[in-house]
Amino acid sequence: MKKIIFSNEAPKAIGPYSQANEANGFLFISGQIPIDPSSGQLVDGGIKEQTHQVMKNIGAILKEAGLDYKDVVKCTCLLSNMEHFSEMNLVYAQYFTIDAPARAAYGVVKLPMGALIEIECIAVR
């Protein structure tokens, strides 16, 4: 059985998807872009500021599900420019300080709303 997870502390979906679904002890978090949930707009700044916002959005969804960053087992990072990879890594590492999850990172042509980064992840109870 699946359960829809929704946090008011993370941005509302901008399409026909859920922030996250929980099934069989796994939490599947939809790709998060750097939207400030209070304004519904992308945060100002570059890749560092945008990565922090994405990670905060993920953290809010994890918290709503009763989980934490330590429970994340896999992330997929999408970058609008792979030249941002090193700076993204510096911010990302601040959230996964112990036993980092498995991860893939890809350069893509374009992300929703002109975002520089999008991250989706899977966590487990």
Residue 14: pLDDT band with limits 50, 70, 90: confident
Report whether pLDDT(1) > 90.
Answer: no
- State the average pLDDT for the chain: 97
CATH code, 52: 3.30.1330.40
CA distances from 89 to 63, 77, 104 (A): 22, 10, 12
Q: Is residue 53 packed enough to be buried (19+ CB in 10 Å), middle (13-18) or exposed (0-12)?
A: buried
Q: pLDDT value at position 96? A: 97
Q: Which residue segment(s) compose the domain that 34 sits in?
A: 2-124
Count of structural domains, the chain: 1
For 63-97, what is each residue's pLDDT tens digit?
A: 999 999 999 999 999 999 999 999 999 999 999 99
Q: What is the pLDDT of residue 37?
A: 97
Say which residues have a Cβ less than 8 Å from residue 40's Cβ, sequence separation at least 6: 11, 12
CA distance 31 to 34: 10
